[in-house]
Structure 1
Amino acid sequence: MTGRPNVLWISTHDINPHLGAYAGVYPGADYARTPNLDRLAAEGMRFDKAFAAAPICAPSRSAIFTGCFPTAIGTMHMRTKAAPPPEVRLFTEHLREAGYYTTNNSFTDFQVNTPASAFDDCSGTAHWRNRPSPDTPFFAAFHGMTTHESQIYLDDEAFLRRTSHVGDDDRHDPALAPLPPYYPDTEVFRRCWARYNDLITEMDHWVGELLAQLEEDGLAEDTIVVFWSDHGLGMPRGKRWANDSGLHEPLIVRWPGRVAAGSAYTDPVHLMDLAPTTLALCGVEVPAHVHGRPFLHADGRPVPAPNEYVFAGRDRQGETEDRTRSARDGRYRYLRHHHPDRSPMQHCDYPDHLATWAEFRRFAAAEAGQLAKGERPSLLTPLQRRVVAASKPAEELYDLLEDPYEEHDLAADPAHAATLERFRAAVDGWLAEFGDLGELAEVDLLERWRPGGVWPVAAVPELGPGGGAASATCATAGASVVWTTDPPREQAHPAGRVAGAGGMGEATGAPVQDGRHWWLLCAATPPPADVPVWLKACRTGCLDSGELPVPARLPSGELPVPDGVPTPQWG
């Protein structure tokens, strides 16, 4: 070891803190069966008030991997290809500059095309075990899909295959499902709630496998392990809602000998704070532009109250247009809806095909039938009816200490007027400080980034006076130069094409797998001088530059020209 800690991030999709470790802390967590994550929490620190920056995947993950508010850098709409300010990079690039081997296995969805500068390996085979030497410190991220909302709604046979590691004794009984009061108590919701928890148990098994590999490699004592989810559960009023139920997340950090075992952190934190926290723990300076704040000191001690408030936004999701801004402190959740005339559960093609959404639609239609007969609607409670209402209030305020399911909106209560004003001022201050690109029409924002629909292309790197690859720079603001000794090969995707292999990979910004290893040009990984090197520049929001071949140098300083490698021209 070099004395620097390794870092293992384990993330999952679409869950609230429904883990056994949160029993008594988060409602419904006592239903969960999660022995591996419970043990991880017992060996580390459980964060009781961790919140996503958005209640849906891509905006939330962009915040986590940039350390910046999506509303400030333009990554707030669900699936876009943003062009953040030039100083904004995926934070792992700073780790690479510090000599870390960084991997991502393999989900991206960072709202940008994942640049070659971000990871040493971003693929389904990425693993810390592939690092150059046992002494190389690593950052390794693994993103499990087991708990994604889509898995709740599989047919019975496919669901049993998906949860093959859940034993009969660990299956969750639908009859005992602790349904939140905003759900109708029906067979559909009970079955889906039980399945959601079965998937969490299956995911827990996967976490256990990763932790066992760390033990097998003798790395557990030297590695910071971080577990998190990206946003709320994949059912109505969870994922896609800017309520606490859409934003409250599990977060566990274990660092043996540094982070106190069995401890709990009760101050509010953003998941976005993970980027600067990880940099700080690895001894890397946190860039000034990062919005998140470290919640642990470099020695593992907790930073008290890094955030007076945590903030979040909800913007376009698929074809559904809406905008909400939300804030949370240690007790209250505030929501500001910019389109109160729109339903909280507008039509959205993908989730409207899911069983729980269809169940709500069925009840709403049946109540409309009651109205048609002159009857008072009676199939949903007032709380449940609010989920599918035609409109929503302009503001909402909830006391989570007294009202964990957000049943009682206090925004119109005179007794809470001072609290309401305090949150209004907090959200106004947040948006004034960081800006809100959600105020712009999305087509106008795209035009700002790509005039006429044309993607900007990073400038080809230029060599310095010495002519060696190590001296290369790029004229494009915010661009990074990467290098490889792997010769070009014929590619299925032409140079400069938007990253991604088409389909889901292209939508999530997955990098094209070109079969070449690209190193970041920096002091930690300088290019060799005695073999040919190829350079290119990449920047989030731009297409990669063309490649610049640099021939090998002989000890005499002469420049032999290998076959097929033209001599670069420099002044």
Structure 2
Amino acid sequence: MAEEADTFITVSTDPFFLTVAYPDAHLPLLRQQCGIPEKPYEADDVSVLPQVGIDSQRLREYTADYYNCMSRLDTAVGLLLERLERSGKTDETLVIFTTDHGAQFSRGKTCCYEGGIKVPHIVKWPGQSAVGLTRTELISHVNILPTITDILDIETPSGAGQSYRSLLGDEKVTWRQYVCSEWTGSNPPGYFPQRTIRNKRYKLIVNYLSDRPSPSAQNYAGSERLWPPGATEDEIASADERIRAAYATYLNPSRYELYDLLEDPWEFHNLIGNPSLSAVADQLQVALAGWQTATDDRIVSSEVLDRLTTDHDRISAEYYTESAWGSSRDYRWQYADYLHR
């Protein structure tokens, strides 16, 4: 991939934009590929990812291979940066390293827990960004486009988020209080609309279909799980009461979930309904509603939600009953006709 990227980088003297997406970190979690890493991690070298909350030899074996993928990814990114350096364009190139979701383990990818949405974001802008600086301000991928247009001094499309250019230095910056995120579904059977909002301490999750099980939990945990790195039914049963309760919430969440990320960073204890935090929950709900209005999030309309749910259920029943991958793509989504009119 570094060679292909190098061809693109060096073929012209014109400014360029290049996205390089790597397969490592996705299943299957390959222990070693092309001799990399030279010395793979073993199960005894690692701990299970913190949001999983369960320890077993089997889970540590998958975790070790996940880290082996990460080691291989580090090597690949290093090769890419070497090619950029060789091209002579390093000093005039903005490099952003990020990912689109968390790891493919329980309470990770395809859900709105921190294990699914708290991802790395590293920026290198020679001569402009502070080296080795860690900022704690809340940002999201929506901020990438306006940051790039800000740096290029070109017009930013409306509704495209907020530039974080001011955060690349070590100066104190007045920044926003909240960040929001969302999950609706990546395929028909994975449909489970969620919206979240958080500040530096508290996080609220809204589950719009709390009358049915979460497909993410079904796919990544328990007896029906689709993905092997997910916790098994026996592993969940062997965990302590707090973790078992968290997995029960994962599978069958209430309409609202509230977490204290300072005391409970991996969201094992749902605090919704705690009288001492009712004002916090109310404040987050009001702020989330404001964001949804500003972004024209139609999921708040019961009519739209019902129609969208009916569409997903119909397609899932007709095309995904026999296979998780779908028997055909010969169907037409209806939501394009009504969702953004």
Q: Say which of 1, 4, 9 aligns to 1:128.
A: 9
Q: Pick from 406, 412, 417 the counterpart of residue 267 of structure 2.
A: 406
> CA distance change for structure 1 residues 161 and 182 in 2, over 3 Å: closer, same or farther?
closer
Alpha-carbon distance in structure 2 between the residues aligned to 1:299 and 1:327: 24
Within 2, Cα distance between the matches of 1:271 and 1:245? Answer: 16
Q: Which residue of 2 aligns with 1:147?
A: 25
Deviation at 1:250, TM superposition (A): 0.4
Q: Which residue of 2 aligns with 1:437?
A: 298
Q: Please tell me whether the aligned partners of residues 228 and 252 of structure 1 are also in contact (alpha carbons under 8 angstroms).
A: yes
Aligned 8 A contact 2:242 2:269 in 1: no
Question: SS of the residue aligned with 2:19?
Answer: strand
What is the match of residue 383 of structure 1?
243
**Within 5 Å, which residues of 2 pair with 1:81-480?**
127-131=8-12, 134=13, 136-148=14-26, 150-152=27-29, 159-162=30-33, 164-168=35-39, 171-179=40-48, 180=50, 182-287=52-157, 289-297=158-166, 304-318=173-187, 319-344=189-214, 345-348=216-219, 352-357=225-230, 359-363=231-235, 381-388=241-248, 391-438=252-299, 439=301, 440=304, 441-442=307-308
% identical aligned pairs: 23
The secondary structure found in structure 2 opposite 1:140 is: coil
**TM superposition shift of 1:268:** 0.3
Between the aligned partners of 1:415 and 1:436, the Cα distance in structure 2 is 30
Aligned residues: 304
Of Structure 1 and Structure 2, the greater strand share is in 1
Q: Tell whether the 8 Å contact from 2:207 to 2:254 is kept in structure 1 after alignment.
A: yes
Q: Which amino acid aligns with 2:232?
A: F
Q: Which runs of 4+ in 1 moved over 6 A?
A: 123-126, 298-303, 443-446
Higher helix proportion, which one? 2
User: Cα deviations across residues 44-91 of structure 1 (Å, max 9, x unaligned)?
Assistant: xxxxxxxxxxxxxxxxxxxxxxxxxxxxxxxxxxxxxxxxxxxxxxxx
Shift in Å, 1:419? 1.2
Q: Which letter does structure 1 place at the counterpart of 2:67?
A: N
Q: Is the 8 A contact 1:325 1:337 kept in 2?
A: yes
Check 1:181–1:247 CA distance in 2 against 1; reply closer, same or farther (3 A cut). Answer: closer
Work out whether residues 182 and 384 of structure 1, in 8 Å CA contact, stay in contact via their aligned partners in 2: no
1:7-58 Cα offsets, whole Å, 9 max, x none, are: xxxxxxxxxxxxxxxxxxxxxxxxxxxxxxxxxxxxxxxxxxxxxxxxxxxx
Pair member with larger Rg: 1
Displacement of 1:331 in angstroms is 2.1
Which structure 1 segments of 5+ residues have no match? 1-104, 107-122, 153-158, 368-377, 447-502, 508-540, 542-571
The 5 Å alignment of 1:30-109 reads none
Alpha-carbon distance in structure 2 between the residues aligned to 1:299 and 1:394:
37
Which sections of structure 2, spanning at least 5 residues, go unmatched?
313-324, 330-335, 337-341
Distance 1:299 1:387 in 2: 38
CA offset digits 1:525-546 (Å, max 9, x no partner): xxxxxxxxxxxxxxxx9xxxxx
| TM-score of the superposed pair, with normalisation by structure 1 | 0.48
Question: Per-residue deviation at 1:410?
Answer: 2.1
Residue type of the partner of 1:151? Answer: P
SS at 1:334 equivalent: strand
Task: Provide Cα deviations, 1:258-282, integer angstroms capped at 9, x if missing partner.
Answer: 1111222211011110011011111
Amino acid at match of 1:342: R
Aligned with 2:149: secondary structure? helix
TM-score, normalising length from structure 2?
0.78
Any conservation in 2 of the 1:242–1:335 contact (CA below 8 Å)?
yes
The one-letter code matched in structure 2 to 1:290 is G
